[in-house]
Amino acid sequence: MSMFLNPFNAQEVDERKLELAQVQFDAMSTSFNMMLRGCLEKCIPHEYGEADLNKGEMSCVDRCIAKIHYANRLVGGLTQARNVGPDHLRHYEHFKESK
């Protein structure tokens, strides 16, 4: 379907919601990449001879990701409850510049 025939094109975009969506995307992208890097570094040896993970490596990665995901949910719930936005995150601008 053509985007020119889309009836939603005439709707206004709320800049605040767009800004919050960008912050959420940046946070999730960074969290995922850091989680992946950290768990792989912790659980998988640098020198490996097999293409597949063994049982110990799989369970280590599962536990590592579960812990980080749980902590992320707790922090996310707290920030939502306190209505924290990008203007409260002083380190966010520095974080964006370092990408």
**Phi, psi angle pair for 82, to nearest 5°:** -90, 5
**With DSSP H G I counted as helix, E B as strand and the rest as coil, what are the percentages for the chain, rounded to 5?**
75, 0, 25
Residue 7: C-alpha distances to residues 11, 34, 80 (Å): 8, 40, 32
Residue boundaries of the structural domains of the chain: 19-45+52-83
Write down the pLDDT at residue 67. 94
CATH 1.10.287.810 fits 19-45+52-83, yes or no: yes
Sorted by sequence, the CB contacts under 8 Å of residue 51 that are 6+ apart come out as none
Mean pLDDT of 92-98: 67
Percent of the chain topping pLDDT 70: 77
Which residue did the predictor score with more confidence, 48 or 68?
68
Write down the pLDDT at residue 1. 46
